[in-house]
A and B are shown apart, each in its own frame.
Chain A
Amino acid sequence: MNDIILSAENDIIISTSRLTKAFGNLVAVNDLNLRVMRGDVFGFLGPNGSGKTTTIRMLLGLIRPTAGRAFIFGLDNQYQLPRILRRIGAVVETPVFYPYLSGRDNLRILAAASDMARHPLNDQRIEEVLELVELRAQAGLAYHTYSLGMKQRLGIAAALLTDPELILLDEPTNGLDPVGMVEIRQLIVRLAQQGKTIFLSSHILHEVQQVCNRVAILHRGNLIKQGDVAALLRQSEHILIRMKSSAEAQAALQLLQEAREGGATWIKAVAAAGAGPSEQPGKASEARGEAATTLRVEAPAERSAEINALLARRDLFAAEIHPHEGSLEEAFLELTAAAQFPGASASAFGGLPSPLPPGRSMLGEGKRQ
């Protein structure tokens, strides 16, 4: 029994207990209880100013918490920080290096600061990480000549330099072009395959959805959700049904509610889909008309056929059935809206898919250098 408990404890890489940081009257992080397991690719989500970077800084010992504690590898970071840091590679915000040194020399400096011995093998390691982030050709150039993307890559190279067990990446794709973003995502996946634990702070939800297995969502310093990405996606999964008339829509609504009460528990909720606001008067009335004939069924997307059959048995024939798979953006919006305006939900957005294309942030433009 004890072995099982020990094993579970060994698998917890990051654990925080009521971690709080206040800057004067501003509570940047409030009562944060995080848990990151070994091998996780953990997405840390939140709008700008939600406390993500403050949390990372507390984990790395750059700032002291006002209250609460943080444990990394089971060690209290208030008392055993050097031991912890030797096993971590981190990129905090836009990485900054010595401008008069080349990328390679900057890594040499960091190697010395990271207890790496002066040895050809470590020089080889520097070349390896430069190659890994595709910066080897420019490694001899002074850092001040680097573009934002190159600086970001050098930051990632620095984080990987000591081959750490835990990698903390604070918005690592900031400033990268789309190709660079894809490469960094692939790199994260490869590192995860090696068994590394990755803590990825990002406001690009599409990116997080692609690479992370677990997430935590922070809003105004409060943790509003922590769990599996898959479970979170299931939460925002739904089916949109458009009937030919509002009378049919009413009948379908009643039927589906009866089915739900009668044992079809996979139907979590049924409601008329509200229309989103429109700036054009003509389109607004059109949208209202469409909303009156459209139902939103909170049910797994793969149940669309069963719903169709259910309606058809009562001679209700849908003009359109649109199974909608969940996205992290929707889940995020739903959760943050609920945190900001209790009682509100994604239906406030008309139950319609995200208006932004995949990959585009819904949390603002992010930090720019």
Chain B
Amino acid sequence: MHPTETHPSSTPARECQQPGYDFVRPSVLLGRRDYLSVLLRLIAMELYKLRRRPLTRISALIALFTTFLVFFALFLFSTGDDSGQVVRLLLPPTSINIAVQTALTPFTILIIILAGSAAGGEYTQGTIRLLFTRGPTRTQFLLAKVGAMLICCILGISGLSISGLVIGYLLSLLRQVPDSGSFLTTSWLLHTFLFLLLAIVNWFIFAVIALFFGILGRSSAAGIGGGIVWYLLEPIIGQVCQLSSELVQGPVSTFLRALPDYLIGNNLATLMAHQGYYIFGSSSISTLPDAEALAVLLAYIVLLLGIAGWLNHRRDITN
């Protein structure tokens, strides 16, 4: 099948013949109409919008600049360290961890801002009614946003990790540290890949939370605010549950002790710590099994997207 087809009402044969008519209608070429093709086109559209937004460009610049600053600070510390311990942080495998932690700790908020404004902004600006009257289904529009945010997360984490590696390596050249590639094994590469994948999931799940709140509250403010509050509140809730469980006894205490195991942050931290053990030799205190942590994260994604999709599908688009 040819990837494009001509709009039935737009063939040259139907070009206007009326006198005084001052323009000739061209044909309109339509793309494939199957569900996936429409979805891919919409993802491309969402990415184009994100790329053209000043917010995206500023966020990317801030993230890159901060990564550079972190490594440059390490470089400065290394000049006063004769043991050579600090300067080794500029090189892999540690530099990957530093780059990823830099991306995750402050810049999760940036991805929340991007996702929240991408979803809620359509309602805030009123462009939602423009999109919903073009043909694709509301579910396709939601999935396109999810797809675009996933691609943003992949590009963001990959870009920041590679930037960290390159910046660290270049700075280490100034200190003439002997490069040791002994860690570079197939197993290490696999675990590093999984580690990066989990970092992407970390960003993505908060992007999904921001999308959910953006759609729920029909505004950028709701998306951004909801996402940031969740991000900041979760560790506090975990701590409060932990402390409270020691003050009470019985089933309530058991429940409070178990609750943090179902929080997003704890499960993500567990998964990343488990991979960190293989990559950096760091110890992991969490006893949560990986499968259970993954199931919890998946449940969150499915639940949040399910509710967002249902709201999107059922809701009236008014002013």
Contacts and interface: CB of A to CB of B under 8 A. Distances in A.
Nearest to B18: A193
A117 B134 contact: no
B137 interface: yes
A108 B49 CA distance: 10
A124 B26 contact: yes
Contacts of B44: 112
Given A96-B126, A163-B25, A114 B318 contact: no
Contact of B318 (A57, A95, A100): A57
A181 B317 CA distance: 28
A11 to B, nearest CB: 16
Interface stretch (B4-12, B190-198, B216-224, B233-241): B4-12
A163 B26 CA distance: 9
B132 A62 contact: yes
B214 to A, nearest CB: 16
Interface string A97-127: 1111100010011101111111101101100
Given A100-B53, A162-B28, A190-B18, A115 B317 contact: no
A116 B44 CA distance: 13
Contacts of B136: 82, 113, 115
A92 B23 contact: no
A149 interface: no
B137 A82 contact: yes
Nearest to A186: B20
A301 to B, nearest CB: 31
A201 to B, nearest CB: 14
Nearest to A105: B52
Contact of B31 (A88, A95, A97, A115): A115
Contacts of A88: 133
The secondary-structure label for the interface of chain B is loop
A92 B18 contact: no
Contact of A128 (B26, B29, B41): B26
A57 B126 CA distance: 14
Nearest to A125: B26
Interface string A145-175: 0000000000000100111110000000000
A128 B125 contact: no
Interface in B251-271: none
A24 to B, nearest CB: 12
A98 B7 contact: no
A49 to B, nearest CB: 13
Contacts of B38: 115
Contacts of B175: none
Contacts of B54: 100
Interface in B198-222: none
Contact of A117 (B31, B129, B131, B319): B31
Interface string B104-140: 0000000000000000000001110111111111000
Given A57-B317, A112-B41, A115-B135, A92 B125 contact: no
B312 to A, nearest CB: 12
Nearest to B137: A82
A116 B53 CA distance: 23
B122 to A, nearest CB: 9
Most central of B3, B28, B33, B316 by chain A CB within 10 Å: B28
A85 B33 CA distance: 13
Contact of A190 (B21, B30, B134, B317): B21
Given A85-B133, A110-B130, A116-B29, A163 B49 contact: no
B27 interface: yes
B130 A96 contact: yes
A61 B3 CA distance: 28
A64 interface: yes
A118 B18 CA distance: 30
Contacts of A116: 28-31
Given A112-B42, A112-B45, A194-B16, A96 B29 contact: no
A211 interface: no
A113 B126 contact: no
B183 interface: no
Given A163-B10, A193-B16, A115 B33 contact: yes
Contact of A122 (B16, B29, B53): B29
B129 A92 contact: yes
A194 B18 contact: yes
B56 to A, nearest CB: 10
Contacts of B49: 98, 101, 109
A164 B29 CA distance: 13
A95 to B, nearest CB: 7
B316 A117 contact: no
Contacts of B130: 95-97, 110, 158
A115 B132 CA distance: 13
B48 interface: yes
A60 interface: yes
21 contacts: A57-B317, A57-B318, A62-B133, A62-B318, A63-B316, A63-B317, A82-B137, A87-B9, A92-B129, A93-B319, A98-B49, A98-B125, A100-B52, A112-B45, A114-B134, A115-B38, A115-B136, A116-B30, A125-B27, A128-B26, A132-B23
Given A62-B316, A86-B135, A92-B129, 20 more contacts: A57-B129, A61-B132, A63-B317, A63-B318, A92-B133, A93-B319, A96-B129, A100-B54, A109-B48, A110-B130, A113-B42, A113-B134, A115-B33, A115-B38, A116-B28, A121-B26, A128-B23, A161-B28, A193-B18, A193-B21
